[in-house]
Amino acid sequence: MNVNQTNRSLKFSSRASTTWLWLSIAAALLAIAGSVIGLAVKSIYSGLTAVFLPQALAQDIANLAIVSPLWIILAALALRGSLRAYLLWLGVLAFTVYNYVIYTFSIPFGALFLLWVAIFGMSLFSLIGGIATADHEVVASHFPNRGAIKVTAWFLIVVAVLFSFLWLSEDVPALLANTRPQSLVDMGLLTNAVHVLDLGFFLPAVIVTGVMLIKRKPLAFTLAPAFIVFLVLTGIPILITPAVQSVRGETAAWGVVAPIGALTMLLLGLLVWLLSTMRPPEGAA
């Protein structure tokens, strides 16, 4: 990276961000290796139930075909000074951290355990470092369109609230009946890591970010695009799962394709629109 590229990068981040970008590229390469092994070696997921196995395979396919290549491309563009790429890169990292928590806590201990832990740790440090070293005031100055900001904020809040009610509609009746949700029985899990992560951290964080965005708090301008990327990527393995089930000769859950596909496309459209409104602040070099 030459001096001009470094200077452009320093407009929205510090030199320390370069370290986290390179660390994340290393994590992406490990993730590619892990996904290839997971898809090629049947014993990796031999302990999963018939319901859980297609989901794990779909996640590996999404990681290998979309997430990891996108991750590397965005990190490379961010190293060249692209603010848009940097914000999208944070979203890919958030998605990766989230999913490798599930890999490490929900999939039985096996040959890829330490690799998954390494990817989780490297991605987590890259995400924390990437957020901490960004200049949020400068990022916010690139979003002058108040209308786009308000629409984004409320969209994030509404989506987070809807998903909260969706998960609670499964958990609360089970608690009142003193039983386990059927999804846990089907997947052979003690507890649902997705519900824990969403209800305990992710969905509240999305709501708080939406509120902060309405109030034009600088940090929210860095986090909002990343959360949209996270939500878009979350839909992809869900959409791939019925195809995996069909290929395996199982009953495919095609019913999820329409609602999840529609939501994913709406989020993608919102992301493209939001990024298209970005402008260099007045007087910027």
Per-residue pLDDT of the chain (285 residues; tens, 9 = 90+): 333 433 344 466 656 688 999 999 999 999 999 999 999 999 999 999 999 999 999 999 999 999 999 999 999 999 998 999 999 999 999 999 999 999 999 999 999 999 999 999 999 999 999 999 999 999 999 999 999 999 999 999 999 999 999 999 999 999 999 999 988 998 988 889 999 999 999 999 999 999 999 999 999 999 999 999 999 999 999 999 999 999 999 989 999 999 999 999 999 999 999 999 999 876 554
Around 135, how many Cα atoms within 13 Å sit in the side-chain half-sphere? 13
Q: What's the per-residue H, E or C state across the chain?
A: CCHHHHHHHHCCECCHHHHHHHHHHHHHHHHHHHHHHHHHCHHHHCCCCCCHHHHHHHHHHHHHHHHHHHHHHHHHHHHCCCHHHHHHHHHHHHHHHHHHHHHHHHCCCCCCHHHHHHHHHHHHHHHHHHHHCECHHHHHHCCCCHHHHHHHHHHHHHHHHHHHHHHHHHHHHHHHCCCCCHHHHHHCCCCCHHHHHHHHHHHHHHHHHHHHHHCCCHHHHHHHHHHHHHHHHHHHHHHHHHHHHHHCCCCCCHHHHHHHHHHHHHHHHHHHHHHHCCCCCCCCC
Closest listed residue to residue 111, CA positions, set 37, 61, 60: 37
150 and 215 Cβ atoms separated by less than 8 Å: no
Closest listed residue to residue 21, CA positions, set 133, 118, 102: 133
Q: Report how far residue 203's alpha carbon sits from residue 130's, in angstroms, rounded to the nearest whole number.
A: 21
What pTM, to 2 d.p., does this model score?
0.91
- In sequence order, what are the residues at sequence separation of 6 or more whose Cβ sits closer than 8 angstroms to the Cβ of residue 219? 136, 212
The string over 38-54, giving b where at least 16 C-beta atoms fall within 10 Å of a residue's C-beta and e elsewhere, is: bbeeeebbeebeebbbb
